[in-house]
Amino acid sequence: MEDLDSRTGPNSPADVFFDGSLVRLRARAPQALRLSLFPNVRPKLIKSSPLRAQGRDGVFWSYSVKVQPQSVEPEWTKVREGIPSQPVSKGEHNALAPADAQFDQAASWRVHVPVNRLASLSDSFLRVEYTGDVARLYCDSQLLADDFFKGTIWEIGLQRFLANCHSDLLLKITPLRKDAPVYIPHSAWPSFPPSSEIAKVNNIRLSPEYELVVDLQGTRH
């Protein structure tokens, strides 16, 4: 087969991946699932809604799909209050990460993800807005991912985990102490309650990722 890169030049605002003659476009915004080709090759649709020709834009031939945006929200509930923490242990140069046993005492939230509504998506990203020291995400007692607080949203792609996950997710957060010897950007440093430590969830959302797959091993126009 003729090398795809020498035969055609796809252009798209989506993330583009090549697999032989297949081109996969992935995007969080459905309207980004469009591509332009030069020279023109009649693309064969593999996965997505019907492909629509949009005409020419200069030397390019443009195509798009109409995808219905999905609004999928997880349900999350606090299931355990954390117990007061001990001062942060220090190594030779840095603060030490919490030991596994500390997560047995950490504040915890159960997160229900409607898996049946995610099957048509390329991926779904769990976006966790929290304040604390270290966050961990579990399923069926297995650690899936963790994050050290830095004031940004923690984002976890779920597609790789859901096939082997047979229960709700469990989020655990160890508290950030006011006296913790850690560096956090000043803008992210929280206001502490009277206890001088904090572990809380501000919001949990799902961000869907959509996919368009076409085969460019077609006939030139």
Question: Is residue 220 in a domain?
Answer: no
Residue 125 lies in a domain: yes
Both 131 and 26 in one domain: the answer is: no
Q: Partners of 109 in the beta sheet? A: 78, 171
What would the pLDDT profile of 67-96 be if each residue is shown by its tens digit? 878 888 999 999 999 998 888 888 777 888
Dist CA 144 CA 173 (whole Å): 14
CATH number of the domain that 128 lies in? Answer: 2.60.120
Distance CA 47, CA 213 (A): 5
Judged against a pLDDT cut of 90, whether residue 52 lies above it is answered with no
Same domain (yes/no): 144, 53: no
Examine the domain organization and report whether 161 and 135 are in the same domain: yes
Question: Quick one: 84 and 157 in the same domain?
Answer: yes
Is residue 49 domain-shared with residue 87, that is, in the same domain? no
Residue 103 placed within a domain: yes
**Is the same domain home to 38 and 81?**
no
Residue 192 covered by a domain: yes
Residue-range definition of the domain harbouring residue 49: 4-69+210-215
Note the pLDDT tens digit of each residue in 109-140: 999 998 888 877 889 999 999 999 999 999 99
Residue-level pLDDT at 4: 41
Residue 221 included in any domain = no
pLDDT at 139: 95
Per-residue pLDDT band for 24 (boundaries 50, 70, 90) equals confident
What pLDDT shows up at residue 49? 61
* One domain for residues 86 and 191: yes
165 shares its domain with 62: no
Q: What is the pLDDT of residues 143-198, one digit of tens each?
A: 999 999 999 999 999 999 988 888 899 999 999 999 998 889 999 999 999 999 99
Tell whether 38 and 129 lie within a shared domain: no
| For residues 60-71, average pLDDT | 79
pLDDT of 2 over the 50 cut: no
Distance CA 112, CA 169 (A): 6
Overall domain count for the chain: 2
Residues 99 and 175 in one domain: yes
pLDDT at residue 206 tops 70? yes
Query: How far from 74 is each of 4, 54, 112, 206, 220, CA to CA, in Å?
Result: 40, 36, 5, 7, 45
26 with 100, same domain: the answer is no
Same domain, 81 and 31: no
